[in-house]
A and B are shown apart, each in its own frame.
Chain A
Amino acid sequence: MITPLLFLAATLAAPKPTTVAKPSVDGWDKAFEIAKVEVPAGIDDQVGGLAFLEDGRLAVAFHRGEVFIRQTNGSWKQFAEGLHEPLGLLTDGKGSVLVMQRPELTRLVDTDGDGKADRYQTVYDGFGMTGNYHEFAFGPARGPDGALYIGLNLASSGAGIFKEIRGTWSEIGKATRENLAAGKTGAAGRMYGRVPYRGCIMRIADNGRGPAELYATGFRSPDGIGFDAKGRLLVNDNQGDWRGSSPLQIVTKGSFNGHPASLVWAPGWNKGDPLQLPVPELEKLRTQPGGIFIQSDLSNSPTQPAVFPATWGALAGQVVFGEMNAARLVRFVGEDIRGVHQGAMIPFLDTKTLRNGNHRLAFAPDGALHVGKTHLSWAGNNGIVRIPAPQVLPPLIESVHLTATGFEVRFTAAIDKASLAPALRSFRYKYHSTYGSPKVDELPLESAWSLSADGKLLTLPLKDIREGFVHEIKVAGAKSTDGRELLGPVAYYQVVKR
């Protein structure tokens, strides 16, 4: 219900909404070519997993459980079928592919060399399933240690559970199994994880042949899981309860990453129902996100990370994420500050031509970025698009660096000083059980900025750099000295440590 006062304020303040500068569509389309990739005929082309095999062919897992491989002549050949909602695919040497499906991590092996998998080997199914739709399983990502890492979703109170479940039921929690099986989810918490390892990251040693262990807790819906160029495990999560805006977690062994439900699976957990713990206590336990996908402005549902290869010039080694909700990708440029990895989120390929639903990302051997799309009845799309590495990068924010005195923003092209008008502010999100969060504790920032002689380095001295806050650096309207528009003219730097 709207109070009269507020409604009045609204009518006064915004009878005719003011227009904001629209993100340019043309700039991105001039600088990058986004082309559709033909998909196999007669299938539901929502992409759950996508990777280039060692021999350069593209392998794709689709919504209804098929895996297809595109042959060198461009035709598609079916490699496997019958999987249950595959949501990740990883190469595994000649004739073998790893797929994460709802019930298990599976190795698909073509033992007789006819191009079709004839063995569906269960690599790991030691986690519980209640039959709740939201218990998606993501990954695998292969670490520098040769182990496989997967992410397991929590169940959603948007639905109950099956009568028959897999795994041992945890009695910790307000909702009873009987009530949940009857669809009464009221007491469960918005997201719940009452069977083993829901909400956790699992590690399976030796490329899946070794033992499995619980690696980290604290996730809600970790769709994007992967390693950066330096071997750090990056896992993002989706805005929601305990997620003011979608975070990027730099995950280390034994860490708790913010969503409390999975704490019941932490080794030696003895504090009862984690959903009942006071927020300050959880705040002490949790690892802060190293980056934040700003809701609405950047990403509402971030997805898979991929590392730019050498063909992408100045972006090589940086990370790019997909985004489901908007026609956009997001770059993450991180750095180590006093032992903590943190950094800036920057919009990328922010053009309608890309369309939304950007779910799985992989770079081809020639450097072309491939993006597989899905929606699963949420906001999204279907199909695959291909974006070749450009000959030259357009004007972009290349990196953002936190210094002792402020920020340094590096551009990929010389910027015309007259076009620069940096607008800065900092804000943060609430850490609470409520779904999402407004931006709070907002502070406009002033900076006596300067641009280097070569036009490529913007120095922003700042007095008020706050730990735990996003620092927004906007340079809308900036142009290169040769008159091209700076694409993606905003960076959101999450300061964990300063």
Chain B
Amino acid sequence: MPRWFLTPILALCATLASAQDGKLLYEQNCAACHLPDQMVVGPSLVEITKLYEKKPKEFVAWAVKPQKKRNGVIEMPSMAHLGEANLLAVHEYMLTASKGLKEKPAVTKDPLARPARRPEIQRMFLPNVGPAAIAVALPGDLNYCFDAGDCRLRTVWRGNFLDCWAYYKSNGKAVATLLGQSLWQLPPDESLQKRVKFLGYSVDTTGLPTFEYERDGGQFREKIVAEGKTLVRRFEVTTAKPITFTLDDATTSSAGIVRNNTLTLTPSEAKSFTLTLRLP
């Protein structure tokens, strides 16, 4: 039941008495989201007229308490503060304003779509990783995600980088699509967050990033490059204690000792080493 149902009748009469011009009310309160002949934030007046031409009561009820109806649109804010009489005036205006107009098609594809510049770095919401993700397109056809939340390489895929249109056209209520074929992925491990601190990245003259972070007190620099069907992760670590990595079957190290999938490097080995990830 709408809120104003409970409002004292007196207050309501005050609103009713000041019913204003429908056009002005539309311009002030609705036009930002409703255009006459095209869906922008909300449906067009053409569509609204189709739905509510003979239904002023239902129109007012919607405006007072809008519902979630369409996919991929924001929630319409309640217009209860305008009062019933004003909303009826808007209803009347909306019908006139859409007369004789035809619906124009809405934009459905990214008008700025382009192939990835390689290398290219884009921070974005990505699937199956944490929310502070960084996507990188490498020269060639490989792409990866470095997660700034746990400071790990998380995803590798081959193909045309990203489609971010679902995100860009809205306000972030969407995750980008990885284009191409997924090759490798690490599951989440939120416990790592307490052991790391992301410091940022530098970009070399070719555009490749080197990530900088702290892990277990050590200072890490990590640069990831593509070499044929492998990703080579070049590390430079300054640490007082030995460092460890959990290795998966596809990864080999240029230094250190591996026992039960745990790679251990002494501080001097950690100064410069690589992890090589074989990809299908």
What residues of chain A have their CB less than 8 Å away from a CB belonging to chain B? 1-3, 5-7, 9-10, 13-14, 17-20, 22, 42-44, 63-65, 81-85, 101-104, 106-107, 117-122, 125, 129-131, 133-134, 136, 158-159, 162-167, 239, 295-296, 300, 325-326, 356, 375-380, 434-440, 442
Contacts and interface: CB of A to CB of B under 8 A. Distances in A.
A364 to B, nearest CB: 28
B242 interface: no
Contact of B5 (A3, A104, A434): A3
Given A13-B13, A84-B123, A296-B82, A103 B19 contact: no
Contacts of A107: 200
Contact of A102 (B15, B85, B172, B204): B172
Nearest to B170: A377
B220 interface: no
Nearest to B19: A14
A101 B24 contact: no
Q: Do most interface residues of chain B lie in helix, strand or loop, or is the interface mixed?
A: mixed
Contacts of A356: 32
A379 B33 contact: yes
B275 interface: no
The listed residue with most A CB atoms (<10 A of its CB), out of B2, B82, B202, is B202
A162 B88 contact: no
A435 B77 CA distance: 8
Contact of B7 (A1, A82, A438): A438
A63 B124 CA distance: 12
B279 interface: no
Nearest to B114: A42
Which of B32, B84, B170, B199 lies at the interface centre, i.e. has the most chain A CB atoms within 10 A of its CB?
B32
Contacts of A18: 19-21
Contacts of A118: 202-204
Nearest to B73: A377
29 contacts: A1-B61, A3-B5, A7-B57, A9-B13, A10-B16, A13-B19, A14-B85, A18-B19, A20-B24, A42-B112, A64-B168, A65-B123, A84-B123, A84-B124, A101-B123, A102-B132, A104-B148, A104-B198, A129-B130, A133-B174, A164-B130, A165-B130, A165-B190, A296-B81, A300-B77, A377-B74, A377-B171, A437-B81, A438-B11
B193 A122 contact: no
Nearest to A439: B81
A19 B93 CA distance: 13
B149 A121 contact: no
A104 B129 CA distance: 17
Contacts of B172: 85, 102, 133-134, 136, 376
A158 B75 contact: yes
What are the 5 closest A-B residue pairs judged by CB atoms, nearest first? A379-B32, A84-B123, A14-B19, A14-B85, A133-B172
B86 A376 contact: no
A434 B2 CA distance: 12
Contacts of A434: 3
A88 B174 CA distance: 21
Contact of A1 (B2, B86, B203): B2
Contact of A103 (B21, B148, B168, B204): B148
Interface string B51-77: 000000100110000000000011101
B58 to A, nearest CB: 9
Contacts of A120: 200-203, 209
B108 interface: no
A435 B78 contact: yes
Interface of B: 1-5, 7, 9, 11-17, 19-22, 24, 28-29, 32-33, 41, 57, 60-61, 73-75, 77-78, 80-82, 84-86, 88-89, 112, 120-125, 128-132, 134, 148-149, 164, 168-175, 188, 190, 193, 198-204, 209
Nearest to B148: A103
For the residues of A in contact with B, the DSSP-based class is loop
A17 B77 CA distance: 23
Given A163-B188, A435-B77, A9 B112 contact: no
A474 to B, nearest CB: 13
Contacts of B22: 17
B89 A17 contact: yes
Contacts of B199: 121-122
B84 A10 contact: yes
B121 A81 contact: yes
A379 B82 CA distance: 18
Given A10-B84, A164-B130, A44 B112 contact: yes
Contacts of B148: 103-104, 122, 125
A17 B175 CA distance: 46
B170 A376 contact: yes
A131 B80 CA distance: 31
A133 B130 contact: no
B118 to A, nearest CB: 13
Given A133-B173, A166-B132, A436-B81, 4 more contacts: A102-B123, A122-B200, A296-B28, A380-B32
Nearest to A9: B16
Contacts of A106: 200
Nearest to A112: B205
Nearest to A80: B203
A438 B33 contact: no
Contacts of B29: 296
Contacts of B19: 13-14, 17-18
A222 B161 CA distance: 34
A213 B73 CA distance: 36
A377 B169 contact: yes
A438 B89 contact: no
A442 B88 CA distance: 23
A476 to B, nearest CB: 14
B132 A20 contact: no
Contact of A65 (B12, B78, B122): B122
User: Which residue of B9, B131, B188 has the most chain A CB atoms within 10 A of its CB atom?
Assistant: B131
B147 to A, nearest CB: 9
Contacts of B130: 129, 131, 162, 164-166
Contacts of A6: 5, 12, 84
B12 A103 contact: no
Nearest to A325: B32
A239 B173 CA distance: 20
Contacts of A159: 173
Given A81-B121, A129-B131, A164-B188, A326 B202 contact: no
B77 A436 contact: yes
A440 B203 CA distance: 56
Which of A125, A239, A325, A379 has the largest number of chain B CB atoms within 10 A?
Answer: A379
